[in-house]
Structure 1
Amino acid sequence: MSCRNTSELHILGSSDQLVLQPLWDQLRARDALTQSPLFAVLFSISTYVGFCLPFVVLDVLCPWVPALRRYKIHPDFSPTARQMLPCLGQTLYQHAVFVLPLTLLSWACGPAPWPREAPELLQLARHVLGCLLLFDAEFFAWHVLHHKVPWLYRTFHKMHHRNSASFALATQYMSAWELFSLGFFDAVNVTLLQCHPLTVLVFHVLNIWLSVEDHSGYDFPWSTHRLVPFGWYGGVTHHDLHHSQFNCNFAPYFTHWDRILGTLRSK
């Protein structure tokens, strides 16, 4: 490769990196917050509740706004406060009792310093997609195992299936073991791919959004599964069938594992 081509690639890479540098600089400037031992828990809770709230509002309005029912997978179902509040309480309880102590322990061991440079945009996109694909495969295997072994299902996974018709706040209504399993997969994947801290944040935001959308019970024209071509992504309709039929659609997001192993179902 000529010196000119090498220089051009270097400039291209630098400009690609500069796209995210202002955002990364702003995050680094708030190190009092981002380096706090509470940041991970506050970030997780606020992102999750923030994504759930619009669907909670829709669930409250749906009985009074008939036009909304055309987008509901189960038009006659609207979760009550008696259903939603225990789900929210379980999420807050587990983050306070389990996630926070682990975060404090990790912080006490010495937080890793954040790099000065932002990741390149294409690198961030590749790593986020890689994390999603790895998580999808890991959770698929975990999910199948916890449905096929009765003791595992009764002890650890049954709690998540107490609501046959999903709603947003039921997304994290799960046992502590399931919460730890998903958190472990996340931590392993970002470490395995050596993701930049900004990539980790973007992945967590996207992962939380996709999981909330999958449980929301609403199938909009702009839902993720309608935007991804060729049926590669299952989305809310895919996951709703799992909750209603139990023996299909085990992958949380994509459809290739269910298609390969014969557990893919569609309406």
Structure 2
Amino acid sequence: MLPFRNLEEVAASLGRPLTPAETLWFRYSATMPDFQIYTHSFFLLLCLFSLGPLPLVLMEAMGVSVLCRFKIQPNVRVPFSSVVQCYRDVVAVLLLVVAPLQLTSYPLLKWSGIRTGLPLPSLWETGAQLVVYFLVEDYGNYWIHRWMHYWPWAYDKIHRVHHEFTAPLGFSASYAHWAEVLVLGLPTIAGPVIVPCHVLTLCAWIALRQMEAIETHSGYDFPGSPTKLIPFYGGAEYHDYHHFVGKSQSNFASVFTYCDYIYGTDKGYRYQKASLAKLRPLNSSVYKAVHSY
């Protein structure tokens, strides 16, 4: 809740006129309690998870042929009933585990300095904070994920649930044991605690991280994806390999590839890529030879 009665008081406090975005934020949040503003992050997460994977899932269910050449595992089709069950299971975890976690973390975030008032952060500040959050989350996620694969008990009792989909789809991005969801939530929230931000930046962080997870689990590799311009970005093909080989010791990173490269946990993936690259010219030559007669 903002400690101002009108826009004039805000402008006098800031010593400048409000930007259009700040005016809009004041009109929306001026009388809203901080805790209620913070709950927006969960509803944003739920909406993105429900709507983000939907276009590809529906087009695949309808058999849209143009998608086939972009599908990473083209011979695998997840039954639509399994897709629906996956969505139900994830929503249950979101409501019963993630929502309470986000709501109970409010005092911690408030104590760390998450703010809801004015002025709004600049684009430069927001961008710099988001980069920090991605790096912190990616590094923490790498080691937790790797530990879950190296410790047989953790894999068999917890992480194995996420690997039930050897050909992942968007809805399976958050399909995991409730304990894994809790543990992997720690590096997600660590960034904003270390580097406090505005609640709008927090919502942007949650939205971007969820969108990234949906893309890397989509099962499709689109050449024109703008994420391919991001340095060291893994993407769908990179993470799909991790699911394809099952209980693997490769490609643990959630977003970027540098941890796997530095710690040598991408050797299997790079070997496969190199082997496939050698086979392509051979297959092309065979095709031309066969069709020359």
Under a length normalisation based on structure 2, what TM-score does the superposition of the two structures give?
Answer: 0.76
Alpha-carbon distance between aligned partners in 2 of 1:220 and 1:174, rounded to the nearest angstrom: 26
Alpha-carbon distance between aligned partners in 1 of 2:167 and 2:125, rounded to the nearest angstrom: 38
RMSD between aligned alpha carbons? 2.8
AA in 2 matched with 1:76: N
Q: Is the 1:84–1:169 Cα contact (8 Å) retained in structure 2?
A: yes
Structure exhibiting the larger radius of gyration computed from Cα positions? 2
Q: How far off is 1:39 after superposition? A: 3.3
Give the match for residue 224 of structure 2: 222
Distance 1:184 1:130, change over 3 A: same
Q: Is the 1:224–1:235 Cα contact (8 Å) retained in structure 2?
A: no
The within-5 A match list for 1:96-135 is 96-105=95-104, 114-135=116-137
Give the match for residue 276 of structure 2: none
Q: How far off is 1:45 after superposition? A: 0.6
Are 2:42 and 1:41 aligned?
yes
Q: Is the 2:44–2:207 Cα contact (8 Å) retained in structure 1?
A: no
Give the match for residue 195 of structure 1: 197
Alpha-carbon distance between aligned partners in 1 of 2:107 and 2:139, rounded to the nearest angstrom: 32
Q: How far off is 1:221 after superposition? A: 2.1
Are 2:183 and 1:181 aligned?
yes
Distance 1:202 1:103, change over 3 A: closer
Q: Is the 2:61–2:80 Cα contact (8 Å) retained in structure 1?
A: no
The 10-residue stretch of structure 1 (234-243 or 177-186) with the greater mean CA deviation from structure 2 = 177-186
Q: How far off is 1:37 after superposition? A: 7.4
Q: Is the 1:33–1:39 Cα contact (8 Å) retained in structure 2?
A: no
Are 2:100 and 1:87 aligned?
no
Are 2:156 and 1:157 aligned?
no
Q: Is the 1:225–1:234 Cα contact (8 Å) retained in structure 2?
A: no
Distance 1:130 1:106, change over 3 A: closer
Q: Deviations over 1:47-69 (max 9, x none)?
A: 211211122122223x2x32210
Give the match for residue 12 of structure 2: none
Give the match for residue 244 of structure 1: 244
Give the match for residue 287 of structure 2: none
Q: How far off is 1:107 after superposition? A: 6.1
SS in 2 for 1:114: coil
Q: Is the 1:20–1:120 Cα contact (8 Å) retained in structure 2?
A: no
Alpha-carbon distance between aligned partners in 2 of 1:126 and 1:32, rounded to the nearest angstrom: 27
Alpha-carbon distance between aligned partners in 2 of 1:45 and 1:97, rounded to the nearest angstrom: 12
Give the match for residue 146 of structure 1: 148
The within-5 A match list for 1:6-85 is 18=19, 21=22, 24-25=25-26, 28=29, 31=32, 35=36, 39-61=40-62, 63=63, 65-85=64-84
Q: How far off is 1:40 after superposition? A: 3.6
Distance 1:104 1:154, change over 3 A: same
Distance 1:47 1:32, change over 3 A: farther
Q: Deviations over 1:191-212 (max 9, x none)?
A: 1011221111111110000000
Q: Deviations over 1:77-116 (max 9, x none)?
A: 2322221122111111112222333445456999776122
Alpha-carbon distance between aligned partners in 2 of 1:157 and 1:219, rounded to the nearest angstrom: 24
AA in 1 matched with 2:54: L
Q: Is the 1:135–1:189 Cα contact (8 Å) retained in structure 2?
A: yes
Alpha-carbon distance between aligned partners in 1 of 2:92 and 2:262, rounded to the nearest angstrom: 38
Distance 1:66 1:100, change over 3 A: closer
Q: How far off is 1:130 after superposition? A: 0.6
Distance 1:163 1:109, change over 3 A: closer
Give the match for residue 255 of structure 1: 257
Alpha-carbon distance between aligned partners in 2 of 1:94 and 1:176, rounded to the nearest angstrom: 6
Q: Is the 2:227–2:233 Cα contact (8 Å) retained in structure 1?
A: yes
Distance 1:34 1:48, change over 3 A: farther
Q: How far off is 1:226 after superposition? A: 2.1
Alpha-carbon distance between aligned partners in 1 of 2:46 and 2:32, rounded to the nearest angstrom: 19
Aligned residue pairs, count: 249
AA in 2 matched with 1:21: E
Between the aligned residues of both structures, percent identity stands at: 28
Distance 1:251 1:108, change over 3 A: closer
> Could you list the runs of 5+ residues in structure 2 that have no partner in the other structure?
1-14, 274-293
Q: Is the 1:18–1:118 Cα contact (8 Å) retained in structure 2?
A: no
The 10-residue stretch of structure 1 (41-50 or 147-156) with the greater mean CA deviation from structure 2 = 41-50
